[in-house]
Amino acid sequence: MARLLVINPNTSVSVSDLLQRRVSAMAGAGHDVRTITARFGAPYIANEASYAVAQHATLDAWAAAHANGERPDAVLIGCFGDPGLFALREGAGVPVGGLAEASFLAASRRGRFAVVTGGEAWRPMLERLAWSLGYAASLAGIHTVAPTGAQLAADPDGARSLLAQACRDAAQRFGAQAVILGGAGLAGIAAEIAGAVPVPIVDSVDAGAEWAVDAVRAPAARAQTAPGFGVAWQSVSWELESFG
């Protein structure tokens, strides 16, 4: 059975529960999905400072899981923004992906895409990530709504109406062939509002789950390497220090 480890880089257990349910349902039989929550950081990643801490928290969560006997075939970072992606990919020894990268890949297959997400601070962060991952030319634009992802998740009915309008606006404003609805806490909403939007909507969590399933099928997933970062850590958790 393929083993998928999902890391929630924030401290919200409710988001972890949603990720566990959604990724498990998308992965289906034959995949053992385990979701873990960051041991420190912010309950919601909403700015540069919380993103920076979340990168550390992602590495720490992975190291703690490894110390507890987790030996996944692939790791999915369950945040639309992928904090710690490049660092964990460097030392995990297995394929590592994130919700944003998986969404960019899925949406780019349909042409130029727009992103809709919660929180204005995410705009420059996602633009930087798209550039780093090689999707700058495919990204038509980013449309943020005022509520954060956490606030949207707390009001599902209001969120559906707001996000449907935001997706329509993004598609028209940017001339996009697809729209990504980004945010772990928004999992499942894309399917509910798809009929109200004139272009395909990519659910970031579903895209992440699809990436993970494909990753464990690839030969690279079976050819695992020894994990490690080659760093003489100081004052980090003992689990992370053991992978110096």
Percentage helix, strand, coil for the chain under 3-state DSSP, each rounded to 5: 50, 15, 35
User: What is the DSSP annotation of 76-107?
Assistant: EE-STT-TTHHHHHHHSSS-EEEHHHHHHHHH
Per-residue pLDDT band for 74 (boundaries 50, 70, 90) equals very high
Model confidence at 162: pLDDT above 60: yes
Name the helix (H) or strand (E) containing 156: helix 156-174
Model confidence at 219: pLDDT above 80: no
Q: Are 168 and 198 in contact (CB under 8 A)?
A: yes
Q: What is the pLDDT of residues 36-68, one digit of tens each?
A: 999 999 999 999 999 999 999 999 999 999 999
The structural domains of the chain, ordered by start, are 2-99+208-241 (3.40.50.12500), 100-204 (3.40.50.12500)
pTM value surpassing 0.85: yes
| CA 129, chain centre distance (Å) | 12
Residues facing 180 on adjacent strands:
115, 202
Per-residue pLDDT band for 157 (boundaries 50, 70, 90) equals confident
Over residues 177-204, the mean pLDDT reads 96
The Cα diameter of the chain in Å comes to 53
Phi, psi of 53, deg, nearest 5: -65, -35
